[in-house]
Structure formats: C-alpha cells, structure tokens
Structure 1
Amino acid sequence: MAHIIVVGNEKGGAGKSTVSMHVASALARLGHKVSALDLDLRQRTLGRYIDNRRRFTEKSGLDLPGPEYHDLPEIDKDSLKPGENIYDHRLSAAVATLEPDSDFILIDCPGSHTRLSQVAHSLADTLITPLNDSFIDYDLLAHIDGDGVKILGPSVYSEMVWSARQLRAQAGLKPIDWVVMRNRLGAQRMVNKEKMEKALERLSKRIGFRIAPGFNERVIFRELFPRGLTLLDLKDIGVKQLNISNVAARQELRDMMKSLNLPGVEVDF
C-alpha cells in the first residue's frame, strides 16, 4: 500500500504548498512514484504549482521528475446512503484508485478546517505541519501564558489530530508520525527564536510530535512557483553555479527529507 503523507494545519501562509511540492518532487527524483491531491478546492495552490510545471516542461522540452496530480473524482449523490458525506467518498475513492500504483500519496490540505481536511488527517501515515517561527503560529498547536512558558491547553487543531489518531487506533492502523516543521526561520539567533524552540520542545513531549527543520525565508521560492520548479531542478534548467543562498536552501531540503524518515527513502541528492 502507498504511504500517505498529509501536509496540513489550519493557518494560511505557513508554506504548506511549497513544502508539499518539494517533498513530492524530491521523492519522484529519488525514483518513487508519487501521486498528489490538493484539498483546497478553491485556491488549488499545489494544483496550480504542478500545472505550472507541466506547462514549463512542455514548452522547454525538459523531462523533470515530479508528482502526478489528480483531481478528486465526482461522486453520484444518489449513490450515498442516508447520513453519508460526499466529501468522505470523494477522498476515499481517490486514495483507493491511487494506492495500487503509487509509492507515496501526498495530500495538501487547505489553511482552514474543512471536512476534507479532517478526513485526510485520519488517513495520514506521516503528517507534516509547517509552522512559521512565531507564537502566532504556535497558537495553532496550543494556548500558552503571556510569558510563552506555561501550556494552558491544546488548540482545536491539536484536538483534531488527536481525534484522527483515535480513529486510526480504532481501525487497527499504525499511529500517525506527526512532524512539526519549523518554517521561515530567521538567520539570526534572536530571543523569540530561542523561546519558540524551547516552547516547541516542551509541547512535543506533551502532545506527541517530532520537530523537523524547514526552509528559511528565501526569495528563490517566490521565483520558482510560476515555472513550477523546485530547488532540485535548477541545474537541469541550466543554472551552472548556485549562489550561496540556493546552496543553503538545497541543504535545508536535504535535512528536511532526512528528518521525515519516510519508508524506503534514501536521500542522496
């Protein structure tokens, strides 16, 4: 069966689609067959990212490894039993179709709470939650006191993950490997950065997630999206000499992929 990776939180602007595209494309470049689903049916950022990649490769004549994007199938409402949710069936039908022919299925969730996102979290073998290095984003996971030290209680998102874990346990499935990814880190060692690091470490032990490195804030990510490219494609499109920032970004991607510890994946780029 395919290993299902869900990239989600309930806050926009944390870099979910950038992380999704880079993880999916890195896996494809490592020789794995990757299928991708975008559950943000309105914005479709990951879907548009992959569309941009397809158009660029067709125009340039390049053959760049990448994920295969799939829309959710339509479901006949008349086929539903009383009380059944059409979105549950759309997602389960997509996963059932893709599983036999995929090594990984990556699902990018919207930056808000939706029924689709809720169901996707219960399907996750690996859950990646990108988080900006800010206590505003930390509030997505837990509520804390004014000093940023005492944990007052879990957030609605953490409670949703807990519910997803319970559903998987009841179904006899293996536990979710929840990875909180610190994204858009500043280069400088600032007081807020250190407080965030300590706060996340305390919280990880309490509610059960691993902490992984993400991407620093870099202009390159804004430049890659219109052509559907990732950091690993730069040499393939003729960039002979990477600048220091791009070299550092590739190392961040390498560290990110290693920290995910996905089954059967050897990071050698």
Structure 2
Amino acid sequence: MAHIIVVGNEKGGAGKSTVSMHVATALSRMGHRVGVLDLDLRQKSFARYMANRRATMERHGLDLPTPKYRDLPEIEKSALTPGENVYDRRLSQAVAGLEVDSDFIVIDCPGSHTRLSQVAHTLADTLVTPLNDSFVDFDLLAHIDGETGKILGPSVYSEMVWNARQLRAQAGLAPIDWVVVRNRLGAQAMINKEKMGHALDELAKRIGFRTAPGFNERVIFRELFPRGLTLLDLRDVGVLGQMNISNVAARQELRDLVKALKLPGVEVTF
C-alpha cells in the first residue's frame, strides 16, 4: 500500500501547499511514484501549483519529474449507501485510484476544518503540520497562558489529530507519525523564537509529535508558484544564475525537511 503523507492544519498562510509541492516533487525526483490530492475545493492552491507546472513544461518542452495529480471524483447520490457521506466516498475513491501505482500519496488539506480534512487525517501514515514561528500559529496546537507561558490545554486541531489516532488504533492501523514543521524561522535567535522552541518541546512530550525545521521566508517561493516549479527544478530550466546563496540555503532546508520526515525507503539524494 502507498504511504500516505497528509499536510494539514486549520490555519491558512502556513505554507502547506509549498511544503506539499516540494516534498511530492522531491520524492518524484528520487524515483518514487507519487500521487497527490488537493482537498481545498475552494482555493485549490496545490491544484493550481500543479496546473502551472504542466503549463510550464508544455510551453518550454520540458519533461520534469512530476507527481501525478488527481481531482476528487464526482459521486452520484444514488451510488451512496444509506448514511454514507459523499465526501468520504470521493476521498476514498481518489485514494484507491492512486494507490494502484503510487509509493506515496501526498494530500494537501485546507486551512479550515472540513469533513474531507477530518477523514484525511485518519488516513495519514505521516502527518506534516507546517507552522509559522509565531504564538498566533501555536494557538492552533494548544492554548497558552500569556503571562506565565504555561500550556493550558490542547486546541481543537490537536483534539482532531487525537481522534484520528484513536480511529486508526481501533482499526488496527499503525500510529500516525506527526511532524510539526517550523516555517519562517527568524535568522537570529530572537526571544520569541526561543520561547516557541521551548513551548513546542513541552507540548511535543504531552501530545506526541516531532518537530522539524521548515522553510525560511524567501522571495524564491513566491516566484516559483506561477511557473509551477520547485527549488529542485532551477538547474533543469536553465536558470543557474538564480542559484544564489539564499536559494542554495533553501535547497538545503528542503533536504533537511525530507530527511527529518524519515519516510520509509527514502534515501535523500539531492
């Protein structure tokens, strides 16, 4: 069966689609068969990223290693069993279709609570939660006392992950490997950065996740999206001149992230 990587949280702007695209493309470049799904049926940032990539390849005659994208299928209500949710069927059918010839399936979730996102979390072998290095985003995971810094309790998102873990356990499935990815880390060891680190370390022990370094804020990510490209494509599209120190550092960040995910059968070779 394919190893399912779900990229999710319940907040927009944390870099989910950027992480999804770079991880999926990195796996494709390393020779793995990768299928991808976008569960944000309204904004479809990940789907747009993939469409931009196809357009760039067609326009310039390129053949870049690319994951296989699939839209969720439409389901006739008459095909549903009594009490069955249409979104459950759409997701399960899409996953089943990709599993036939995929080693990994990357699922990008919306930045809000939806039925699709909830069900996707129960399918996750690896759950990646990108988080901006801010206590605004930390509130997604847990509530904290503003004066003492003491963690008061888990947030609704952490509770959803807990419920997903319980459902997997009841079904006899392996536990979710939950990885919280710290995006947009400051270049300097600022007080806020240190406080975030301590808070995450404490929370990780309480609710069971690992932390991994993500991407710093870089102009290159905003420039890549309209062309559907990733950091690993720059040499192939003839833009060696763009491999400045910042972009080389960003490539190393991607390498570190993929290593930190500890995906089965993956040896990082880029």
> Aligned partners of 1:17, 1:130: CA distance in 2, in Å?
10
Residue equivalent to 2:86: 86
Question: Residue in 2 aligned with 1:240?
Answer: 240
For 1:240 and 1:208, the matched residues in 2 are separated by 41
Q: Give the match for residue 119 of structure 2.
A: 119
Q: RMSD in angstroms over aligned alpha carbons? A: 0.8
2:135 corresponds to: 135
In structure 1, distance between residues paired with 2:240 and 2:226: 21
Maintained 8 Å contact 1:168/1:175 = yes
Structure 1 residue 58 and structure 2 residue 58: aligned? yes
Aligned residue in 2 for 1:184: 184
- Distance of 2:120 and 2:22 partners within structure 1: 20
Amino acid at match of 2:52: N
Once the two structures are superposed, what CA deviation does each residue of 1:234-258 show, in whole Å capped at 9, x if it has no partner?
1111122410000100000000000
Matches within 5 A, 1:65-104: 65-104=65-104
Structure 1 stretches lacking a partner, 5+ long:
none
Supply the distance in 1 between the matched residues of 2:98 and 2:191 (Cα, whole angstroms). Answer: 46
1:189-212: CA deviation from partner (whole Å, max 9, x where unpaired): 110000000000000000000000
1:1-269 aligned at under 5 Å gives the runs: 1-147=1-147, 149-241=149-241, 242-269=243-270
Aligned residues: 269
Provide the identity percentage: 78
State the 1:149 CA deviation: 2.4
Consecutive unaligned residues of structure 2, counting only runs of 5 or more, are none
Distance in structure 2 (CA, Å) of the matches to 1:148 and 1:131: 22
Residues 68 and 152 of structure 1: is their aligned pair in 2 closer, same or farther, counting only changes over 3 Å?
Answer: same
TM-score, length-normalised on structure 2? 0.98
Paired AA for residue 18 in structure 1: T
Q: 1:19 to 1:148 in 2, by over 3 A?
A: farther
Cα offset for 1:148? 5.7
Q: Compute the displacement of 1:100 (Å).
A: 1.8
| CA–CA separation in structure 2 for the residues paired with 1:268 and 1:148 | 44
Partner SS for 1:188: coil
Deviation (angstroms), 1:163? 0.3
The 3-state SS of whatever aligns with 2:143 is: strand
2:54, 2:94 → 1: CA distance? 21
Distance 2:216 2:222 in 1: 13
Query: Residues 9-48 of structure 1, C-alpha deviation per residue, up to 9 Å, x if partnerless?
Result: 0000000000000000000000001000000001100000
State the distance in 2 between where 1:187 and 1:148 align.
26
Q: What's the TM-score, normalizing by structure 1?
A: 0.99
User: Displacement, 1:82?
Assistant: 2.4
- Structure 1 CA distance, aligned partners of 2:80 and 2:65? 38
Q: State the distance in 1 between where 2:96 and 2:35 align.
A: 12
Task: State the distance in 2 between where 1:97 and 1:50 align.
Answer: 18
Report how far residue 81 of structure 1 moved.
2.3
Structure 2 counterpart SS, 1:268: coil
Deviation at 1:97, TM superposition (A): 1.3
* Counterpart residue identity of residue 184, structure 2: R
Deviation at 1:49, TM superposition (A): 0.2
**Separation in structure 1 between the aligned mates of residue 113 and residue 177 of structure 2, nearest angstrom:** 20
